[in-house]
Amino acid sequence: MVDDLILKVRTSGESANPLLFVIMDGVGLYRGRKEGYDGNAFDQARTPNLDRLFRNAPVFLELKAHGRAVGLPTDSDMGNSEVGHNTLGAGRIFEQGAKLVNEAIDSGDMFISQAWKDLVERVKGGNGAFHLLGLVSDGNVHSHINHLLALIGRLREEGVPRVRIHALADGRDVEPVSFHRYISRLEDQLHQVNQDPSMDYSVASGGGRMRTTMDRYNADWSMVRRGWETHVLGVGRGFRSCSEAIEALRAERPEIIDQDLPPFVIVDSNGEPLGPINDGDSVVLFNFRGDRAIEISRALTEPQFTEFDRERFPEILFAGMMEYDGDLHIPPRFLVHPPAIDRTMSEYLVRNGVSQLAVAETQKFGHVTYFWNGNNSKQFDPDLEDWVEVPSDKTPFDQQPEMKAREVCQVVENALEEGTYRFIRVNFANGDMVGHTGSLEASIAAMEVVDECIGRLERAVDRVGGMMVVTADHGNLDMMLEIEKTTSNVKIDTNGRPVKKTSHTLSPVPWFLVGRGAENYRQNERLSQPGLGNVAATLLLLLGFEAPEEYLPPLVRFNPPEAESNGN
């Protein structure tokens, strides 16, 4: 009902008009061992604007952006952009992909679902193979190897005779050069299964996640085409095993990290591909995160598909680990239901007549739209919501660390000057996308560009008399070198070089408030461990509304200086 989405207007306190909300994607505050640590791109960057704001902002806080604070299973789990934006936009914490999949596997609910039964039945008595496609690591951002091993174990129990794995290398949410360790675990399990002569389980293809299959937001369909050629057509450079492929590819390019490994195909003794996806097969994409799963899901399910020439379209039964786009129902069949996120901040605002603008470049456009809006790809009210996507370049991020930050900034500056929107949210992708490359130098440059844009936006907000909130969704470029857990020293590889860190971090993220009227707000001291889930209620408060009861409490309270002087 629309009526129960009407917010109460605050009876006291100034409200921001406009309110600008800035997300510095991947910019955390590393508070670990600092002396002698040279891997913090944030600390090494020249950031005069942020330095000044951290010193002088009326309110500055550090927020939890990982683990249970964003719905992940444990506080050892890094946050990520998907769950971060879900939590920012929803105003409370929902159980997220990894935890939902864990529960579905542990309870056995996944395997009694009709989708699973249909997939197994299709290949159990015939000549078809059961294919498992996804990211093989324990990064727990897009997937977890334990889920893959559990699926293999279940298929063995159910007597499925032929299983093929299409293994994508991570090196982004885990150590940059670690694929061999995960493949060793996988191959050990496959070897055990194959002790039964009726079973034929093997890796069929693979490649690095940033070279093949896992594109997102339509940024580079050639990645998906390479995945199609590798996994479906069985076309590509052949090796007798996945371990052999990894060893050979690294020997040829010692500097290569896992995410950039070229695609490869596993072949038999005659040089024929061991497991292309064919008519009559079943396929499960075991990634649980949606953004980098949608495009390959479309290619595997849509009869009318025009993004690239598939050459052939096998008649298969396909399921995702989860429904990756609940609005467009991609894919049509899935094994675990995603969290049902309702009553997001955007929906409340449009029902209360507040105009909104969301801006980001392609790499993070879905995060300030789809994920922010509770996994919905459409506006709640197109008359009150505008979305602007600035197309990302295809240049490697470490070669162009500024990405499209300045163009994104210009869009927001123009919108502030025009005065059309009461609430604007913007994402700067640099900290995350450049941080993932492992290049410290490029990440420092990326941070400096973000700082430049923060300064520009602060001045633009000041010109129109608004407020600005700046935060991040998780950490990344704050730790560019791996740390030994036992010693807290920088990890050194076998060649004596520091090990690059390309994954997210467990760091808290900054949150500060500036602008006209910001001096009238104070930290809400009742919050002992504030996190991203408290942000939506805060933004509603700043816009002049009382947050709904189901939201987590706001980070700040209205308490002007004169109230303090009167003892309030």
- Going by C-alpha positions, the residue among 568, 483, 488 that lies closest to residue 522 is 568
In whole angstroms, give the CA distance from residue 336 to residue 80: 20
In whole angstroms, give the CA distance from residue 451 to residue 474: 17
- Give how far the C-alpha of residue 359 lies from the chain's centroid of Cα atoms, to the nearest Å: 17
DSSP state of 428: E
String of b and e for 28-53 (b: at least 16 CB within 10 Å)? bbbeeeeeebebbbbebbebebbeeb
Query: What are the helix (H) ranges across 302-404?
Result: 345-351, 362-366
List the catalytic residue out of 81, 202, 282, 439.
81
Q: Crossing angle for the helix pair 145-157 and 97-107, nearest 10 degrees? A: 20
- 84, 476 contact by CB (below 8 A): no
Give the 3-state secondary structure of residue 232.
helix
Strand 356-361 versus strand 385-390 pairing type: parallel
Strand 509-515 versus strand 59-63 pairing type: antiparallel
**Which residues are registered as beta bridge partners of 391?**
none
Task: Verify cis geometry, omega within 30 degrees of 0, for the bond prior to 18.
Answer: yes
- 107 catalytic per annotation: no
- Going by C-alpha positions, the residue among 533, 387, 392 that lies closest to residue 471 is 533
The terminus-to-terminus CA distance of the chain in angstroms comes to 39
In whole angstroms, give the CA distance from residue 289 to residue 100: 11
- 344, 91 contact by CB (below 8 A): yes
**Which residues are registered as beta bridge partners of 200?**
162
Active site residues: 81
